Amino acid sequence: MSKFKYLIDGIVKNNPTFVLVLGMCPTLATTTSAVNGMGMGLATMAVLLCSNMVISLLAPVIPNKVRIPCYIVVIAAFVTVVQLVMQAFTPGLYETLGIFIPLIVVNCIVLGRAEAFANKHSVGESALDGLGIGIGFTLALTCIGLIREILGNLSVFENKFSSSDGMLVFVLAPGAFLVLGYLMVLFNKLKDRKKKA
Amino acid sequence: MEYLIIIISAVFVNNVVLSQFLGICPFLGVSKKVSTAFGMSLALVLVMGLATLVTYLIQNYVLINTWFGEKMDITFMQTIVFILVIAALVQMVEIILKKINPSLYQALGIFLPLITTNCAVLGASILVVTKEFAAKGVESHMMNLGESVVYSMSLAIGFGIAIILFAGMREQLELSNVPKALKGTPIALITAGLLALAFMGFQGIV
């Protein structure tokens, strides 16, 4: 039971987007629709899960001084794998996400979890942590993507529910900042209320 | 003339932070004071110029080249190679700067390690070798070495302009009475959103 705490922690208490405020670039750039957000979230989750497991196995062997470059190589290798897989099986999504797939390497969430969690815990725990954080990230991205899509394009998961035009600004760059900003306000408000109760 | 178009396009129209979403972490992290924002952007111009120079050469003369009598294209190694090169380059710049210009090192030193994880550097290096440059009045084409370096340095200057403007606003925000739930990151994001809205006005210039 206690092991599952790691999984749940990643989704709520350590939510990478709303609590840790990490990995902002893909969060803002790829959430033009719910599907894109989810694709980015899942790609990051795959990298996070694999890199967490491998790093937790390698941690005892890696000398402390060169650990960061070693982690980066491991992460970059998995990013390349994900990149090639996506290019083969989901070429459309690969095109839309574009440069942000290779940029998973410099996503602070992945390196952050390697440094803060994976190198001190067992393989199983690291896998659960990677999965939890990954799910938290995916949920946050899907949520932001969904809101932007509904407001900007009047559609849900690419099914248009109205034939008129939406507020285009929410699909464009400024909308990303505004939606994330207001979602964080909501998150803070709910957390505050919970604390008071 | 073409260089001018590249510069305007990179600094204003395709602003790296506000329209391409690269380097958001430092944009939110080191924008509390105008002076630190200035130092960060100066260091970024230096590193992005150098990084693009090196990665461009690696892409075109190492990853795509004739090895062992056979023409090879190992660009799938791009991500791994570029990030390692950038990490090493930043370390090297730090060491060299410390030796030859200690006063500049004092000013920029603390920002240099942070730059490795700035996705604008890796992002720009990948962009210039994979995407064609397209603008009004210019035929879309792959950028050559000179154009690539100018393009990514202009991106860094665009980052500088955005972050310095933003830091100025945040200094004012510190003094104003912000509702509790909006304090910190949320109000910063909303401010950035409005700034991005303003930068959208540049769209269509080139």
Cβ separation B187–A181 shorter than 8 A = yes
B164 — contact with chain A (CB < 8 Å)?
Answer: no
Q: Of the segments A1-5, B53-57, B64-68, which one has the largest average pLDDT value?
A: B53-57
SS3 A31: coil
Listed by start position, the domains of chain B span 2-202
Listed by start position, the domains of chain A span 4-11+23-196
> How confident is the model over B91-112, as pLDDT tens digits?
888 888 888 878 877 777 667 7
Q: Which of B20, B122, B192 sits opposite A106 (nearest CB)?
A: B122
> Distances from the Cα of B54 to the Cαs of B58, B124, B149, B156, in angstroms?
6, 12, 10, 16
For residue B41, what pLDDT is reported?
85
A173 — contact with chain B (CB < 8 Å)?
Answer: yes
> Cα(A101)–Cα(A84) distance, rounded to whole angstroms?
10
Q: How much is the pTM?
A: 0.87
Residue B118 has pLDDT above 80, yes or no: no
Q: With contacts defined as CB-CB under 8 Å, which chain A residues touch B126?
A: 99, 102-103
B127 — contact with chain A (CB < 8 Å)?
Answer: yes
Average pLDDT (A2-29) is 81
> Cα(A194)–Cα(A145) distance, rounded to whole angstroms?
26
* CA atoms lying within 13 Å on the CB side of residue A182: 12
Average pLDDT (A142-157) is 88
Which letter does DSSP use for residue A169 in this model? G
ipTM: 0.83
Q: Which of B22, B79, B119 sits opposite A76 (nearest CB)?
A: B79
